[in-house]
Structure 1
Amino acid sequence: MRRTVHPSEHGFTLTELLVALVIGTLLATAVFAFFLNSSQIITNQSTTTDMWQRGRNALALMRQAVESAGFGLPQASNCPNGIAAYIANQSTTSPFSMTAITASVQSGSAYDPTTLSQIDTYSLMTVTGGASFGNAPVAQITKTPSNQSATLFLNNVNLIKIHDMFVVELPGQACLMGQVTKVNSKGQGIVGNNINFSSGTSPFNSPGGFSGIAGTIYNINGIDFTNANFLDLGSNNFTINQFTIGDNGGTATPTLYLTQYTTNQSAGTAPGRQALARGVVDLQLEYGLGSNGAITQWVLPKNYTASVTQQILAVRIAMLVRSTRYMPNETSPASFAMPTPTGQSPQSYSVPQNNGPGCLQGDCRHYAYHLFESVVPVRNSIWSGP
Structure 2
Amino acid sequence: MRQADVSETGFTLTELLIALVISTLLATAVFTFFLNSSQIITNQSSTTDMWQRGRNALAIVRQAVESAGFGLPQVSDCPNGIAAYNSNQTTSPFSLTAITASVQSSGTYDPTSISNINTYSLMTVAGGASFGNAPAAQISSIPSMTSQRVFLTATAFINSGDIFIVQIPGQACLMAQVTNLLTQGNGIGIVHNSGLSNYNPSGGFNTLAGAIYPGLSSTAFVGANFIDLGSNNFTINQFTIGDSGGTATPTLYLTQYTANQTTSSTRQALARGVVDLQLEYGLGNNGAITQWVLPANYTGSATQQILAVRIAMLARSTRYMPNETSPASFVMLPNQNLSYTVPTSNGPGCLQGNCRHYAYHLFESVVPVRNNIWGGS
Shorter-chain TM-score tier? 0.7 to 0.9
Provide the rounded CA distance (Å) in 2 between the counterparts of 1:142 and 1:332.
66
Let me know the Cα RMSD of the aligned residues: 2.9
CA–CA distance in structure 2, aligned partners of residues 150 and 353 of structure 1 = 63
Secondary structure of residue in 2 paired with 1:123: strand
Q: Aligned with 1:333: secondary structure?
A: coil
Residue aligning to 1:76 = 75
Which residue of 2 is the match for residue 20 of structure 1? 19
Change (3 A) 1:83 1:347: farther
User: Compared with structure 1, are the counterparts of its residues 298 and 257 closer, same or farther at alpha carbon in structure 2 (3 Å cutoff)?
Assistant: same
Which residue matches 2:105? 107
Deviation, 1:151, is 2.9
User: Secondary structure of 1:19's match?
Assistant: helix
1:239-291 Cα distance to aligned partner (Å, 9 max, x none): 2211111222222211111122123301xx11222211111111111111111
TM-score (norm 1): 0.85
Q: Which position in structure 1 is the counterpart of 2:270? A: 276
Shift of 1:233: 1.6
SS at match of 1:60: helix
Contact in 2 for aligned 1:141/1:229 (Cα 8 Å): no
Equivalent in the alignment of 1:7: 6
The aligned residue for residue 314 of structure 2 is 320
1:257 is aligned, of 253, 260, 266, to 253
Deviates more, 1:19-28 or 1:311-320: 19-28
C-alpha separation in 2, matches of 1:67 and 1:213: 31
Change (3 A) 1:144 1:126: farther
Matches within 5 A, 1:35-46: 35-46=34-45
For the pair 1:378 / 2:377, whether they are aligned, the reply is no
Q: How far has the Cα of 1:161 moved from its partner? A: 2.9
CA distance in 1, matches of 2:254, 2:350: 23
Count of residue pairs brought into register by the alignment: 371
Amino acid at match of 1:5: A
Deviation, structure 1 residue 116:
2.8
Aligned pair partner of 2:286 in 284, 292, 310:
292
Cα drift, residue 97 of structure 1: 2.7
Whether the 8 Å CA contact 1:165–1:178 is kept in 2: the answer is yes
Please give the alpha-carbon distance, in whole angstroms, between the structure 2 residues aligned to 1:134 and 1:359.
46
CA shift, 1:300, in A, is 0.7
Contact 2:155 2:188 in 1 (8 A): no
Structure 2 residue 359 is matched with structure 1 residue 360: no
Counterpart Cα distance in 1 of 2:92 and 2:113: 28
Query: TM-score scaled by structure 2?
Result: 0.87
Q: Distance in 2 between matches of 1:153 and 1:38?
A: 71
Partner of 1:29: 28
**Structure 1 pair 251/130, CA: closer, same or farther in 2 (3 Å)?**
same
Cα offset, 1:212, TM superposition? 7.3
- Structure 1 residue 45 displacement after superposition: 0.3
* 1:162-311 aligned within 5 A: 162-172=160-170, 175-184=173-182, 187-188=185-186, 195-198=190-193, 200-205=195-200, 219-224=212-217, 225-227=220-222, 228-266=224-262, 269-311=263-305
Query: Which segments of 5 or more consecutive residues in structure 2 lack a partner in the other structure?
Result: none
Structure 1: unaligned runs, 5 residues or longer: none
Contact 1:80–1:384 (CA<8 Å) still a contact in 2? no
C-alpha spacing 1:210/1:240, structure 2 compared with 1 (3 Å)? farther
Distance 1:328 1:131, change over 3 A: same
Cα distance, 1:65–1:212 mapped onto 2, change above 3 Å: farther
Q: Distance in 2 between matches of 1:385 and 1:286?
A: 11
% identical equivalent positions: 72
SS of 2:309's partner is strand
Using a 3 Å threshold, how does the CA distance of structure 1 residues 85 and 300 change in structure 2: closer, same or farther? farther
